[in-house]
Structures are given as C-alpha cells and as structure tokens.
Amino acid sequence: MNVTATGTANDADEQSLARAMVDVHGAEAAVVARDNARAAALAGQKPQARSWIRVLGLIQQRTNSAGAGANDPSQGPFKE
C-alpha cells in the first residue's frame, strides 16, 4: 500500500485494500477493518483511523451492493 507523507493511503490503495480484505476475510472483513480503525484511534493515529474508516465504508458499500448475488462468487461485490 502506498502511503503519503501524512500517513494515509490514497483512494485507489484503499479500494485495493478493501477488495483484498474481502478476498481474505470474507464476511469478517468489516469486523477486521472496524477493529483496525478502533486500534488506530486508540493509539492516537488519526490519519490511519480515518483511512480504516474509509476502507470499512468501501467494504460495507460493496457488500451491500452485492445483494442477492452475495452467495454467488461470479456476482461478488468486486466484479468489474
């Protein structure tokens, strides 16, 4: 993941991370992203916490848009 001087990932990196997290963690991807956001916030890492919150939003957005095809891998949330 490319990180800028402020310690935040750019939009393309966040989208790629969200996609990879769903591939690896499946239905638990949102839980992992939420835990990472919480840990960064508690550690005082505000830019990283915000980035994780954006990743969480992408995961939730894509998971919700999968709708009825959520159980069919060919209709997954990251289908292009």
* Per-residue pLDDT, 63: 81
Residue type, 12: A
- Residue 9: count other Cβ atoms within 10 Å of its Cβ: 20
Predicted TM-score (pTM) of this structure: 0.70
Listed in sequence order, the residues at least 6 apart from 33 whose beta carbon sits closer than 8 Å to its beta carbon are: 18, 21, 52, 55, 56, 59
* Per-residue pLDDT, 16: 95
Query: What digits encode the pLDDT tens for the residues 39-59?
Result: 999 999 999 999 999 999 999
Alpha helices, H only, the chain = 11-25, 29-42, 46-66
Regions of the chain where pLDDT drops below 70: 1-9, 67-80
Domain boundaries, the chain: 30-65
> Distance (Å, rounded) from C-alpha 23 to C-alpha 36?
17
* Per-residue pLDDT, 64: 83
> Distance (Å, rounded) from C-alpha 46 to C-alpha 64?
27
